[in-house]
Copies of this chain bind each other. A is one copy, B any other.
Amino acid sequence: MIANTGLRNTGASARIQVVIAVLCFASLAPRAFGQQADSDPLPSWNDGTTKKAILEFVHVATQKDGPKYVPPEQRIATFDLDGTLWVEHPMYTQVVYCLDRVKAVVRHRPHLKDLAPFKTVLSGNHEAIAKLAWNDIDKIVEAAISGMTVEAFRAEVSQWLATARHPRFKRPYTDLAYQPMIEVLHYLRANGFKTYIVTGSGQDFVRVFAEKVYGIPPEQVVGSAGETKYGYGKSGEPLLFKEPKLLLNDNNAGKPEGIHLVIGRRPCAACGNSSGDRQMLEYTGAGDRARMMMLVLHDDATREYAYGPADGLPKSRVGTFPQALYDEAQQKGWHVIHMKTDWKRVFAFEK
C-alpha cells in the first residue's frame, strides 16, 4: 500500500509519521485508502498520453456535476473486434474457421467440391488460397456459416476454437485477445459503461466466445448477420436455421446502422483499427458530452504485427489503416493507440 502512495523513499521519521497517519485515517476512511491501493485500472498500459486520455475520459464522463457528464444509461462503448480486441493477422479468425470448414461443407453439399472457390481450398495449395479474391472468400463464408441450426453452429465453432491454433503463436485464437483492451473493457464497465463488440465478423461466430474472453454477453455483440429462419426439427421441436442471406453487413456505414438497429443509442466511446471503423468513430464523435474515439495502430512486428501507415505490409488483406485515416484521427482528436509504446504487454500469456 505504502509503495503506491509514493512514499517508499522517505526516511525512518517520515515512515513513522506515515504509520501514524495510516492508523488515524484507516478507521475514518478505509475505503478511500483501499481505492488508492488498487489505483491502476490499466496495469498493462505504459504511462503516456493514450493511457492518460482513457483515464481522463472516464473521469470527465462520470463527474456528476461536470459539464460533460454522461448519465449511466447513455454510457455505451463500442469496440471493433479483429485487430482491435484480438489479432487479425494473417487472416480474420472467422475466415480461417470457414476455410477449415470447407471439407465439412462439401460432405453435405458434394456438388460444391468441383466448383471454385471450394476446389481451390480443397487443393491445399496455400499460394492459390492466399490469392482468393474477397468475393470468393465471401462465398466460402456464406457456405460455411449457413445451412445448420444456430445451436449446431455454436457447437461447431466451440469445438474449432478449442483445437485450432494460430500459425505464428501456436496458441488458441482466444489466447490472442489484447490484455490492455480487456482492461479497458473492465475499467469502463466498472464505471457504469455498457460495452459492446461491433464487428464486421459474424455476430453468431463472435457470440460463442465474447462472454468468456471479454465479459461481453451475446446480446451486446453486434456483427454482420445472416437471416435465420424459424422452423421445426424431426421431433417437431422449434429451431432457428441459419440462412445464406446477408441481413446486416456490419462494416463501414453498416457499423452505425447496426448500432442503431441493435442498441438504438449513439455510443460515447468507440474503438477500432481500420477504415471499416471510420464511420463508427465519426458517428460517436458527433454526439455531445464526453466522447472518446480510439484507433489501434499495429506498429509492433516483434510482439504482434506492423501494418498500416506504421510500416510493413502495405498490401495487407486485413485491417486497412491508410494514411488518410491516420491524418483524420490527428485532425479530429481521435486517440491513436501505438501498440509498441502504449502497451506494456500485448497478451495475458506474456510474462
Contact = CB atoms under 8 A, between A and B. Distances in A.
Contact of A230 (B204, B247, B248, B279): B279
Interface size for chain A: under 10, 10 to 19, 20 to 34, or 35 or more residues?
35 or more
Interface in A183-205: 194, 203-204
A330 B300 CA distance: 64
Contacts of A262: 219, 261-262
A248 to B, nearest CB: 8
Contact of A219 (B227, B238, B263): B263
Given A211-B73, A279-B230, A286-B238, A260 B150 contact: yes
A225 interface: yes
A218 B256 contact: no
A253 B225 contact: no
Nearest to A220: B219
A264 B230 contact: no
Nearest to A219: B263
A228 interface: yes
B211 A264 contact: no
A260 B219 contact: no
B257 A218 contact: no
A203 B264 contact: yes
Contacts of A257: 227-230, 240
Given A238-B279, A256-B238, A279-B238, A264 B229 contact: no
A262 to B, nearest CB: 5
A160 interface: no
Q: Which 7 A-B pairs have the closest CB atoms?
A: A218-B264, A230-B253, A219-B263, A238-B283, A238-B286, A228-B257, A230-B256
